[in-house]
Amino acid sequence: MTITTLAEYQRDWDAAKRDPDAFWLGVAKDRITWANPPGKGLEGSFATIADAPLTWFADGSLNASVQCLDRHLDTRGDQTAILWEGDEPSDIRRITYRELHREVCRAASALAGLGVKQGDRVILYMGMVPEAAIAMLALARLGAVHSVVFGGFSASAIAGRVRDCGAKLIITQDAGLRGGKKIPLKATVDEACRETAVDKIVVLRRTGDPVGWQEGRDLWWHDVVATGHDTHPPAIVPAEHPLFILYTSGSTGQPKGVLHTTGGYMAYAAYTHATSFGLREGDIYACVADVGWITGHSYIVYGPLANGTTTVMFESVPTYPDAGRYWDMVERHRITIFYGAPTALRVLANAGDAFVKKYDRSSLRVLGTVGEPINPTTWNWYHDVVGDKHCAVVDTWWQTETGGHAINPIAGVTPTKPGSATKPLPGIVPALRDSDNKVIEGPGEGRLFLEQPWPGQARTVWNDHERFVKTYFAEVPGVYFTGDGCRRDEDGDYWITGRVDDVVNVSGHRMGTAEFESAITSVVGVTEAAVVGYPHDTKGQGIYAFVVAAPSVDRAALDAACRKMIGAHARIDKLQLVPGLPKTRSGKVMRRILRKIAEAGDKDPGDLGDLTTLADPGVVEQIKQGAAKAS
């Protein structure tokens, strides 16, 4: 059952806060087909998490692939489960639930034949192809633990993840395709394996490009799955059995292997997918993220398939062959729910409305955003131009660690405001705290904490529970620290202001860098902006803006926009025009890199920390070289 009114939302939110065990046991029994239904809800707490990870539904058992496949066969067997669009718009595959079940069983059977068993870890380094989802579900069927590495990470990043989780097998492709360009996936895996060895590499043939080959180690996907059977029994595992590991980078050191378990994650992914988007029978749902990130796990594969939805997988980029690609897809596939990133939307908005308006978007009902706060200018463009002023905009705030949506509007239910994440979902109990960790009541701005556990949250960092506790629970013992700053307005709506180290104090004025970025990107000709604080002799901190813009954009226009949208005290102290911003492959700007460059001024910034997650490391060198010219 989805939430259809504000009264229902308030009822469920109150119930989840008052009695989380009863609420989430109800959700779990409603959303999940259990081999053994649970009678227990939450065991443990944030207060005791240093001693042991908390658990949800610990006496229940299940299999994740059964939730996504087997239970739909009688009612949805002939419905499209995955609608795949490749790099070229004409490259289309439609895979029904019955076909997907057969392909997953074949892959699971074949991987078991290679020795993969329950609890084993397997690395996936692939592009956005159906076989990536098939491999994830096949490993889940075996009770193995997958760790998807975005198809584009460096060889050293792959090697580090192989070593950390102890993977013995990698599944990859000969090459990937994105925007007409080939990404040498197998070659990168080969390079990684010169640093650390694996027993087997299974290679999907996507482009037909020649690849290096080591006999006895390397196998073709099509040869492997040909040995599999059309049916394969699912491994029934305890609810707290590991489902997957996703690595997230910090400022320094080894990326953290965030661990999610089966029962709580599946229940939460299914619940939030249906609830946030107001899911309806017959929806064609398109999340244009990548399965290499938590968004792809929760809202391309596990959530949509658990709910029996047709989920769109998209291999290409939003500007190929032109800036109308997304909206062309909407018209051709009659997409009803579209879920994308503000970074891409800003680029498309700057390309002009003509690329949107040439396509029929009347099928759209819900427009979602994910990955970063969306600035009001882009929100309004998304709502007014893409949605033609009739679509609900669902601006979602959540994290790899939360496993699913945490603070966001419910489509068609929650009143929205451009740039606001609005209200917490049932089960999420936010609190704002000041710099002294005192709770802020009512309207105010501070650091965002979550006070109550929820089933979808990460349980630990793989093989390093101490790091997990130190990262998320040391700031205020017994409370989860998100690391984000947040403002709550008079209506109780939440506005994410960015990471707490992205809040600057200029002459006593605390300002979120997201506010500056919203102002700067509202100027015509500006494509993107990232703002950080840096040491200032008289102000304490100054505002340093890295801006991607047309040559016609001048400093005065940017300062005027900041004054108009923030206040007279808001001005840019240093401006650097850059060719691009340092981003992870999921589109997030790595502000810690920019902060170090800004703090160094015209000096060498030194060690910039872990750069393995960058989409284009060359951008960093260009920014470093141009820093001396910032003014």
Q: What is the DSSP string of 131-168?
A: HHHHHHHHHHHHT-EEEEEETT--HHHHHHHHHHHT--
**Residue 258 to residue 252: CA distance in whole angstroms:** 16
Q: How far is CA 547 from the centre of its chain?
A: 24
Domains of the chain (ranges plus CATH)?
A: 6-317+396-486 (3.40.50.12780), 507-629 (3.30.300.30)
- At 213, the amino acid letter reads W
Helices (H), 217-341: 221-225, 262-276, 294-296, 303-306, 325-333
What pLDDT does residue 63 have? 98
| Closest among 179, 105, 116, 167 to 143, alpha carbons compared | 116
* pLDDT < 50 regions, the chain: 251-252
What pLDDT does residue 124 have? 98
> Residue 297 corresponds to which tokens in the numbers above?
């796990």
Model confidence pLDDT, tens digit, residues 474-521: 999 999 999 889 999 999 999 998 777 666 767 656 577 877 898 899
Q: What are phi and psi of 182, to 5 degrees?
A: -100, 135
- At 189, the amino acid letter reads V
| Closest among 336, 394, 393, 378 to 361, alpha carbons compared | 336
Collect all residues with Cβ–Cβ distance below 8 Å to 625 and sequence separation of at least 6: none
Question: The dihedral of CA 348, 353, 359, 360: what is its sign?
Answer: positive
The helix/strand/coil state of 312 is strand
> Residue 383 corresponds to which tokens in the numbers above?
């709502």
**Residue 65 to residue 532: CA distance in whole angstroms:** 43
The helix/strand/coil state of 454 is coil
CB 329 within 8 A of CB 312: yes
Q: What is the DSSP string of 464-510?
A: -HHHHHHHHTSSSTTSEEEEEEEEE-TTS-EEEEEEGGGEEEETTEE
The helix/strand/coil state of 92 is strand
Q: What are phi and psi of 441, to 5 degrees?
A: -95, 145
Residues facing residue 178 across a β-bridge: 181
Look at the chain and count its residues. 631
- Which pTM was predicted? 0.86
Q: What are phi and psi of 148, to 5 degrees?
A: -85, 130
Give the Cα-Cα-Cα angle 281, 287, 292 (nearest 5 degrees): 130
Question: The dihedral of CA 455, 456, 462, 467: what is its sign?
Answer: negative
What pLDDT does residue 252 have? 43
**Residue 117 to residue 141: CA distance in whole angstroms:** 10
Rg (Cα) of the chain, in Å, rounded? 24
- At 592, the amino acid letter reads R
What pLDDT does residue 251 have? 40
Instruction: Please name the residue that has the structure tokens 């291999």.
Output: 315
> Residue 612 corresponds to which tokens in the numbers above?
């393995």
What pLDDT does residue 589 have? 86
**Residue 297 to residue 260: CA distance in whole angstroms:** 11
Beta-sheet strands, E only, within 206-287: 218-220, 237-238, 242-248, 256-261, 284-287
> Residue 418 corresponds to which tokens in the numbers above?
């451009």
Q: What are phi and psi of 222, to 5 degrees?
A: -65, -30
| Closest among 571, 579, 621, 629 to 601, alpha carbons compared | 629
H or E element in which residue 618 lies:
helix 618-626
